[in-house]
Amino acid sequence: MPQTGVVTRALVLGGGGVAGVAWETGLLLGLAEAGGELAADVVVGTSAGATTAAQLTSGVGLPELHRRQSDPAAQVAELVPTVSLMALLDEITARTDGLVDPADRRRAIGALALAADTPSPAARRAVIAARLAGAGWPADDLRITAVDAVSGDVRVFTAADGVDLVDAVAASCAVPGIWSPVEIEGRRYVDGGAASTNHADLAAGATAVLVLSPMQPDRAPELADEVARLRDTGADVEVVHPDEASVVAIGPDPLDPAVRTASAQAGRRQAAGLSLRWTRPGR
């Protein structure tokens, strides 16, 4: 159980494509503009959330981070997927149907990723490096998730590992079947979302947890159980998904770079209607 009277705050940033990065950034800026306290003791990032988390802890202010998402002139040039997201999800479902063991499911997804014809790892890494604009591991407790494509094991990268932050984020963002697995220390890793869209469990031990999940509950079915387990420890957990306007802005394909401006603006507007315990100053 968390220590009585001591508030430790965790921010969990989930996956959801380039649209998810934009929406999370807009939401965070909107919360800050409303006077919210955003300092966290732990920041957990998965897939898109790994990008947002690395940017948020880089020391660059939220107004500038939001400009990089909302202003087309400031946006990083992204690779455009040649595979339909819906087609990919259908293939993943077909490959994992009937697999009960989560590790077996992750290995099946990893096998798909290893066999796929994808853009060069160097080209993809360059995109991630441009997103982070030279940022390194922060002093903050930043946790980045990925999945070993062969073993199916979940790996949580931190500053203590000595792994380049660009590589850790690239691994977490390596959508199976769309982007190439990322090699780190002789192992190949894919998107942390292959195990969990949010990995809220990594906030265990915090007394106050805010989860920003760009994916709706039906696309992140494991989140309900993760939140329940956190609450069983006494944690105060709040979850924010895109509202109706944000869902429209994000559209059917969150991997489409063209929706970044609308998604960032929608997230910022959505924040104006939120009242979160997690962001209360002096909590």
Q: Catalytic site residues?
A: 47, 191
39: Cα separation from own chain's centroid: 18
Residues 6+ apart with CB under 8 A from 63: 29
DSSP element (H, E) containing 221:
none
Residues 6+ apart with CB under 8 A from 273: 243
Place of tokens 């979160």: 276
Query: Considering all CA atoms of the chain, what is the largest pairwise distance in Å, rounded to the nearest integer?
Result: 53
DSSP one-letter string for 126-178: HHHHHHHTT----SSEEEEEEEETTT--EEEE-GGG---HHHHHHHHT--TTT
The Cα 217–Cα 203 span in angstroms is 19
Residue 82 is classified by DSSP as S
DSSP one-letter string for 193-205: GGT-SS-GGGGTT
Q: Which residues pair with 240 in a beta bridge?
A: 212
SS3 73: helix
**Residue 250 amino acid letter:** I
